[in-house]
């Protein structure tokens, strides 16, 4: 993973870490734990931020406007 990703994840956790951890713990009923392979701060930050983003997206996927998403339309044009 690029160093800039670790840096950005660390900065995000520095600013919003309490809220991110609370969001994950609430969603996973206090069973949220980073995997044992995340044994350094940058890896833990990347894992937590990624997990929170994925959780938020899965909880709000109904908000996506897939029929009018320009990026999807662009991909469909490339594929044809």
Note the pLDDT of residue 75: 46
36-63 burial by CB neighbour count: b if 16+ within 10 A, else e?
Answer: eeeeeebbbbbbbbebbeebeeeeeeee
**Domain span holding position 74:** 3-79
- Overall number of domains in the chain: 1
pTM: 0.71
Residue predicted with more confidence, 50 or 72: 50
Q: Tell me: the pLDDT tens digits for 9-59?
A: 999 999 999 999 999 999 988 777 888 888 889 899 999 999 999 999 888
């Amino acid at each position: 993973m690029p160093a800039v990703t670790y840096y950005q994840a660390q900065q995000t956790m520095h600013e919003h870490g309490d809220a991110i951890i609370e969001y994950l713990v609430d969603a996973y009923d206090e069973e949220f734990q980073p995997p044992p392979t995340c044994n350094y701060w940058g890896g833990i930050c990347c894992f937590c931020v990624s997990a929170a983003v994925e959780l938020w997206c899965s909880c709000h996927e109904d908000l996506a406007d897939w029929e009018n998403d320009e990026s999807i339309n662009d991909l469909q044009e490339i594929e044809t």
